[in-house]
Amino acid sequence: VDELGIDVDFNKGTIVWQGAKDDGVVFAGIRWGQRRDWRDSQRLANWTGARSVGIARMGYWVWDERGGDGALSHWQGLSEVADEFGDDWRGELPLAVDVEKAPVSWDELRQFLLLVEADWGRKPTIYSGSWILEELAPLPEWLSEYEWWVTGYNNVGPDVWGPFADLHPTVVCWQQSEDWRVSWSSAGYVDRDYWQGDLGGYLMPRVVNLDDLVAWLDAHGYECEPPAPPPIGAAFALASPLPVPLSQHRISQEFNANPQWYAGVGGHDGVDFAIPEGTPVLASHAGKVTVSGYRPDRPTYDPYGDHVRIEQAALDLDGQERVYTTIYGHLDRLDVQVGATVEKGQQVGLSGGVGSRAGNSTGPHLHFGVVCRGAQSRGETFLAGDFASPWLWLKDLPERVISAEIVQRRKTLTALNIRNVPMTDGSLVRRTMAVGVTFSVYEVRSGWGAIDFSRTGWSSLNPSYSGVA
Ligand SMILES: [Zn+2]
């Protein structure tokens, strides 16, 4: 039997570890920290709690160079947390190093991995996913010496494709679901993982190639019951986030524009409206405020600057249950607090775009973004494919308020063969459908059409999406 585990950080709140044990959890990835100075607030409670009930522990450290931290400063941060744990610092499983943030200086990362190996007396595991490893390619050869904990987030299977697949990775652990609904996490959910094989004494039968992994999935996959969906509202639609017709504002940057500047997400991930500072910004839909200010994991700099995010579970255009998040970036004043419920049209702040807390902004504007994901929230970490064009849901606005250019784009129909496009969920489809592209379905599972990229990474969508051939 493959071993059931979880991974937790401060986002999951307080964990009642006996509850996890009772549900069959035998191992846990526990976030320690990130960079030089960031520490997970639940690290000690989780580290001692898991031990107290005999759950095997795997600390994990997030590699993050964005503030200039290299191997030594990451290692210093890690060592200080290890010191806090006294004699109990090692855990039962190898430390994992989370590599999912660009950029990565491979020599620095390798230095850090070697320092960790020297401390632990065994190689760390690397947590990552194909989507980020593709961005980071070309990948150095030495990565194939490590064992991998692979992101999945989809109940379907690990996404192993592209440059990552070319490494022929040894996959020891798979993050299956980001939203296993449980009563023993105060957040109400945890991330669910599977270890490939027996953990006893850390004797892991290795999954040495992708064929084995796929065979394992065929034999054991889909064990996780789909989580209960949140209450679903009506079909999602967006009102204007600005009090005056959008046609009166210049669009200073369109969705998906300038991929050279947004390597991490493939292009600009929202629409920028050039508006004067101090313009009221309105909730484009009802929902719950999940961010107001900087994101908690970016305490010193957030590219969106002070911003507001609103989350709402609702039906997609096609009747599918989704979780939407709208992002109102670069605000000069915040009028709502995290956790608040807002109504459509409610003022959430005043626009900005200049000043020390404007984030990645070169002048006054509102950045308006939409994230559309599966039926469950998984916090504020989004994949590139989660971002969708706001115009998809703004399209019910009277056409007179939409620029002629946008109207024209909607009418431009093209066909695109996306078999080889490395994306992990249907939002690529939605995003691209927003400009009228059609798709072909290559496989059908469980009533969902699958766009099968290579058998090692695939996306799914409901075949009843209009335009799917
Ligand atoms: Zn923007």
User: If you write DSSP's letter for every residue of 313-382 in order, what string do you get?
Assistant: EEE-TTS-EEEEEEEEESEEEE---TT-EE-TT-EEEEEB--STT--S-SSSBEEEEEEEESSS-BTB--
* Distance of CA 275 from the midpoint of ligand 1 (Å): 12
- Note whether 135 and 165 are within 8 A (CB): no
Q: State the residue for tokens 């700099």.
A: 301
Q: For 380-399, how does the pLDDT look when each residue is reduced to its tens digit (9 = 90+)?
A: 656 656 777 787 676 555 44
Tell me the longest C-alpha to C-alpha distance in the chain. Answer: 68
* Distance of CA 410 from the midpoint of ligand 1 (Å): 21
Average pLDDT over residues 449-463: 33
* Distance of CA 326 from the midpoint of ligand 1 (Å): 13
Q: How confident is the model at residue 89 (pLDDT cuts 50, 70, 90)?
A: very high
The DSSP bridge partners found for residue 255 are none
* Distance of CA 277 from the midpoint of ligand 1 (Å): 15
Kindly compute the dihedral angle of the four CA atoms of residues 47, 53, 54, 57, in this order, to the nearest 10 degrees.
-20
* Distance of CA 3 from the midpoint of ligand 1 (Å): 43
Tell me: pLDDT of 87 over 80.
yes
Q: Which of 42-51, 89-98, 127-136, 253-262 has the lowest mean pLDDT?
A: 253-262
* Distance of CA 306 from the midpoint of ligand 1 (Å): 13
Q: Please state, as a whole number, how many other Cβ atoms lie within 10 Å of the Cβ of residue 469.
A: 8
Q: How confident is the model at residue 321 (pLDDT cuts 50, 70, 90)?
A: confident
Average pLDDT over residues 426-442: 43
Cα–Cα distance between 310 and 289 in angstroms, integer? Answer: 4
What pTM does this model have? 0.49
Cα–Cα distance between 140 and 137 in angstroms, integer? Answer: 8
- Note whether 6 and 193 are within 8 A (CB): yes
* Distance of CA 303 from the midpoint of ligand 1 (Å): 9
- CA-based nearest residue to 58, from 226, 167, 168, 173: 173
* Distance of CA 352 from the midpoint of ligand 1 (Å): 12
Give the whole-number percent of the chain exceeding pLDDT 90: 40
Q: How confident is the model at residue 255 (pLDDT cuts 50, 70, 90)?
A: confident
Cα–Cα distance between 252 and 274 in angstroms, integer? Answer: 6
Q: How confident is the model at residue 153 (pLDDT cuts 50, 70, 90)?
A: low
* Distance of CA 59 from the midpoint of ligand 1 (Å): 35
* Distance of CA 436 from the midpoint of ligand 1 (Å): 23
Q: How confident is the model at residue 152 (pLDDT cuts 50, 70, 90)?
A: low
DSSP state of 23: T
* Distance of CA 139 from the midpoint of ligand 1 (Å): 30
Torsion angles phi and psi, residue 308, rounded to 5: -120, 140
* Distance of CA 381 from the midpoint of ligand 1 (Å): 17
Q: What is the pLDDT of residue 379?
A: 59
